[in-house]
Structure 1
């Protein structure tokens, strides 16, 4: 029997709409069910990452995978939705809008380094003296920087590309090539190529590789073996999967492998 899915509804706030007494405040939770969050926004900035598992955060047509090593900075007031599978241990740090300038005007990935993780965990100590808390918050803001690495997919939305997007998101191992999709949709390969570049900023092949990488991370963080994950996302060998994964993300599959 399939476990129940939980849908959470949160409000939308303008930046700074709610005065808060903190500079940085942490939150964490292990979700008991597959969970989704409606589109909402916070009055403070938010840093999302996971202690265990992978989750998805969506802003408009852009979907990021959040993991234990790649977090996402969400500026105050940014409308976003999210989802996580049962057992995901997600974490968040809230940054006061009045006390913290945003890293970016738009969402950006942040590498969750061991140092950043230790500093954020220290702030969770309720017995931390005020002077130590202030010093730790200063260090957090000093080491918190955007990362060039990200697990991001820009979803195409046109009627032409929607069948491709839906099929590949449903089954990242779908073997259909650009030429085969063009034949099935009754258009030229060039038409699909132009549409992908216009709607996503990348080629069909790079878009598929990004979707496969996102799906692979979700499987790896749940303990999947690399060769099994490679097959599940459409690669003939673990080495081919590893090479494609590194080209897409700049990281190895082993960085996300749950132990």
Structure 2
């Protein structure tokens, strides 16, 4: 991704004791944008009003959308990127005033109710009592989601060539058997390696990579039929079925509006 690269300055750990409960930040990026590896002294909920972004922690990459956010615990080093036109939202939770949803990154479904509550907190004229009530409701409805657009990127010498090729070209149609032949190992060896390193099968890992890439292209306004071909499916219907299995939503839900 070409475009703008931003550096997030280190933040004073003493700021973790700041008395705020929930504080929001939002911005629409004009260009494809990357953020360097950084951490915050507060818990953070990453979500989008529009478009797609990615948060990376170690070898794990989560795609964030208007319906699927990510809880980033305080002091977790992460980097990120966003597609041009993305309206990204970051909601910070004061560690001194709120319990942490999780001590590891977890997906959060951005339900219509949660979205309305978070947007209400952006009203600077909100009375203190109304703000406190809204913050309490946010904390009440904020829960981890069983769905997530997560890809664990393998880094071992055995799997790295596969990971690099598929992430560079999600339409790469080479099967596990074909990869095994090219790498001079057995298909069983690759199967074990994928399960051990990514926690899933080769086929599901590829589907996850394709779904993440598809979300980015759909957010850029690409037609579903073109995206289907780009990420390796023979038809829009086959792509739609696979996309729904992976994300729980139709491709149309991610089209840029």
TM range (shorter): over 0.9
Residue matched to 1:57 = 55
Query: Closer, same or farther in 2 for the Cα pair 1:86/1:254, shift >3 Å?
Result: closer
Q: Tell me how far 1:26 sits from its aligned partner.
A: 0.6
Check 1:149–1:13 CA distance in 2 against 1; reply closer, same or farther (3 A cut). farther
Deviations, residues 77-107 of structure 1 (Å, cap 9, x unaligned)? 1111111122221111111001111111111
- Counterpart of 2:6 in structure 1 is 7
Q: Which residue of 2 aligns with 1:97?
A: 95
Helix, strand or coil at the partner of 2:17: coil
Instruction: Say which of 240, 246, 249 aligns to 1:248.
Output: 246
Tell me the distance in 1 between the aligned counterparts of 2:3 and 2:219: 22
Cα distance between partner residues in 2 of 1:49 and 1:239: 28
Which of 83, 94, 102 in structure 1 is aligned with 2:81? 83
Tell me if structure 1 keeps the 8 A contact 2:16–2:96: no
Distance 2:102 2:16 in 1: 21
Q: 2:228 aligns with which of 224, 227, 230?
A: 230
> What residue number does 1:219 align with?
217
TM-score by length of 1: 0.94
Cα distance in 2 for partners of 1:46, 1:167 equals: 32
Unaligned runs of 5+ in 1: none
CA distance 1:166–1:96, change in 2 (3 Å): same
Q: TM-score, normalised by structure 2?
A: 0.95
The alpha-carbon deviation at position 23 of structure 1 amounts to 0.6
Match of residue 21 from structure 1: 19
CA contact (8 A) 2:5 2:36 kept: no
Distance in structure 1 (CA, Å) of the matches to 2:52 and 2:83:
8
2:39 corresponds to which residue? 41
Q: Give the superposed CA RMSD.
A: 1.6
Choose the corresponding residue for 1:130, options 95, 120, 128: 128
Q: CA deviation at 1:5?
A: 2.8
How many residues get paired? 257
Between the aligned partners of 2:207 and 2:11, the Cα distance in structure 1 is: 33
Q: Secondary structure at the match of 2:24?
A: strand
Measure how far apart 1:223 and its partner are: 1.8
Instruction: String of CA shifts for 1:205-256, please: whole Å, max 9, x gaps.
Output: 1100000000111111222221111111000011111111122222222222
Cα deviation, residue 13, structure 1: 5.9
1:149 counterpart SS class: coil
Bigger shift: 48-57 or 239-248?
A: 239-248
Provide the C-alpha distance between the structure 2 equivalents of 1:210 and 1:135, rounded to a whole number of angstroms: 38
